[in-house]
């Protein structure tokens, strides 16, 4: 082992454990607090990273961990807004490349002091304005299995109502209807028939 290095990136059992696809929330929380920055980076880039841990990792002192959070498509909007002000250029560049970054964050980054970040943000804004392509689901991982699409239910209810209801036919008002008169007592007011007498 080299002096000053307690690990080599990717050489520990903890790194291999962090790469496992099926980890429970408690294990992710524990690995997110690891002393090994590479493990924290792997956890920060996972789509199933718990939201509270993601906020904590967005404040990590290692830029690579913050870069992994910035590139995570399931990051919260508030986390992305915070990382847009990061001093490390790699973090902001990863944020611009994130497919889930909100439009207003890109608009703010289009006025960034670094030219490469400005250019990347402007090109993403142009792609944003060109229209959406196939958009990946960016729902919160913990709630993804509980998401209920209200549009499908609304369309199904509308279709059911269309099948059971009769078509609407407009009704014409009768032509011999009496003229409406004001029934509330008003001082000095007489109905048109009484005024002629």
Per-residue CA distances from 112 to 45, 66, 72 (Å): 24, 18, 21
Q: Where are the domains of the chain?
A: 13-101
Measured distance CA(84)–CA(91) in Å, rounded: 8
pLDDT per residue as tens digits for the range 31-40: 889 899 999 9
3-state secondary structure (DSSP) of residue 94: helix
pLDDT per residue as tens digits for the range 120-152: 888 888 887 776 555 555 555 555 555 555 666
Per-residue CA distances from 4 to 1, 7, 8, 120, 144 (Å): 9, 9, 11, 37, 43
| pLDDT for res 35 | 92
Whole-model pTM: value is 0.61
The model's confidence at residue 3, banded by pLDDT at 50, 70 and 90, is: very low
Measured distance CA(22)–CA(177) in Å, rounded: 75
């Amino acid at each position: 082992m080299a002096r000053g290095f307690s690990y080599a990136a990717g050489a520990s059992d903890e790194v291999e454990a962090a790469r496992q696809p099926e980890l429970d929330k408690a294990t992710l929380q524990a690995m997110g607090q690891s002393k090994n920055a590479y493990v924290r980076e792997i956890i920060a880039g996972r789509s199933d990273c718990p939201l509270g841990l993601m906020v904590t990792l967005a404040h990590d002192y290692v830029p690579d961990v913050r870069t992994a959070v910035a590139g995570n498509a399931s990051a919260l909007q508030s986390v992305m807004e915070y990382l847009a002000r990061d001093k490390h250029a790699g973090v902001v560049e990863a944020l611009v490349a994130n497919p889930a970054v909100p439009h207003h964050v890109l608009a703010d980054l289009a006025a960034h002091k670094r030219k490469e970040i400005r250019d990347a943000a402007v090109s993403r804004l142009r792609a944003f304005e060109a229209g959406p392509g196939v958009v990946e689901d960016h729902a919160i991982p913990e709630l993804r299995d509980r998401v209920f699409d209200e549009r499908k239910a609304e369309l199904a209810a509308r279709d059911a109502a269309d099948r059971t209801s009769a078509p609407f036919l407009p009704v014409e008002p009768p032509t011999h209807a009496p003229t409406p008169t004001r029934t509330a007592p008003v001082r000095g007011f007489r109905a048109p028939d009484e005024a002629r007498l």
